[in-house]
Amino acid sequence: MTQQTIGFIGLGVMGRHVAKRLVQVGHRVQAYDINREPLTHFEAAGGIACTSAAAAAENASHIVIFVVNGKQAEQVIFGPAGIHETNAPGLTIISCVTMLPSEARSIGERCHEQGWSFIDAPVSGGEVGAQQGDLTVMASGGHSAMDTSHTLLTQIGTRLKRVGDQPGQGALVKTINQLLCGVHLAAAGEAIAMAQRAGLEPQAVFDVVSQSAAGSWMLSNRGPRMVASAFDTSASAVDIFVKDLGIVMDVARELKFPASLAATALQSFLGASGAGLGLKDDSAVVQYYNSFQPNKAE
């Protein structure tokens, strides 16, 4: 494989694993994160730590972005010490950020004005998928950029799905994905909490429903943490689903689409966040349902 110089922005829960994997397959990876600690770990894994997004983009053919939302993506590209300060011609930016489709379209247009290619490529699969290189990549962008970036995209995630030729289409597919994830997770929390309220052994209930027609990936993955009330180590926080389901509702309003189940799921995550669980693992949504206690008869 021909070594490429890859800029990488965002060494969070998922980004740090993807960046490390790109080093392992032979790329020169120049990374930037607002926090120093993940950069130190990345250097120990053979990567190059940078002091700004602009520095990470120096002499790079591609920039991979793994920040939290569209505003952060816009900032690292166009803000102070952002990628735009390199004035690198022919750059391809791969955004793996969950954001509004309108934000992805806007960033894509601004990148085009800079003479850059922009691939809207959000991912799914969580921290485990990032560690194993087994993410699903929902990529949309121009045919030429997608073709020349094909190998890199498959190194980010083995399940590469080309879902469109315009920025924003990847974000739309991710929106649908998060609608289902949020509803499934809220439903799992409701079911486990109801079993607990009924006096059933939650582990026994989980063992049955996770192996029956009621099963889902979210239930199988998050259910054990719900049963064990193990919420302190966050693979994905409650507030991430507040953000993502908020995007679902924004898109639903734009489409005039009645996303009633997503709206209900959002209220569950908002309730959990409002109860102080926003930074806990998203399986803590079960605690939102457990907070409703029946009145005891005198």
Residues 241/182, Cβ–Cβ less than 8 Å: yes
Q: Does the annotation mark 256 as catalytic?
A: no
State the catalytic residue, choosing from 174, 256, 280, 296: 174
Q: What is the pTM of this model?
A: 0.92
Q: What SS3 state is found at 186? A: helix
Q: In this structure, is the dihedral angle defined by the CA atoms of residues 246, 284, 131 and 58, taken in order, positive or negative? A: positive
Determine the pLDDT at residue 2.
65
Fold of 5-166: Rossmann fold (3.40.50)
Pairing mode of beta strands 92-95, 28-32 = unpaired
How far is Cα 58 from Cα 40, in angstroms, rounded to an integer?
20
- Return the exposure string of 176-197: e unless at least 16 CB atoms fall within 10 Å of the residue's CB, then b: ebbbbbbbbbbbbbbbbbebbe
Determine the pLDDT at residue 296.
60
Write out the two tokens for 262: 């997503």
Give the single-character DSSP code of 297. Answer: P
Determine the pLDDT at residue 260.
98
How far is Cα 49 from Cα 215, in angstroms, rounded to an integer?
42
Alpha carbon dihedral 50, 14, 186, 174, in 10-degree steps, equals: 90
> What are the extents of the domains in the chain?
5-166, 173-290
How far is Cα 240 from Cα 66, in angstroms, rounded to an integer?
14
Determine the pLDDT at residue 297.
53
Mean pLDDT, the chain cut into blocks of 10 residues (298 residues total): 87 95 96 96 97 95 96 96 87 97 97 96 92 94 96 96 97 98 98 96 97 95 96 89 97 97 98 96 95 68
**Out of 3.30.930.10, 3.30.160.20, 1.10.1040.10, 1.10.3720.10, which CATH number does the structure's domain 173-290 have?**
1.10.1040.10
Cβ-based neighbour number of residue 19 at 10 Å: 28
Residue 19 has phi, psi (to 5 degrees) of: -60, -45
Write out the two tokens for 32: 């930037």
Determine the pLDDT at residue 1.
54
Cβ-based neighbour number of residue 206 at 10 Å: 20
What angle do the packed helices 202-209 and 169-197 form, to 10 degrees? 130
Residues 27/79, Cβ–Cβ less than 8 Å: no
What is the separation, in whole angstroms, between the first and last Cα of the chain? 74
Pairing mode of beta strands 62-65, 92-95 = parallel
How far is Cα 82 from Cα 263, in angstroms, rounded to an integer?
35
* Rg (the chain; Cα; Å): 20
| Unique residue bearing structure tokens 């080093």 | 23
How far is Cα 210 from Cα 196, in angstroms, rounded to an integer?
16
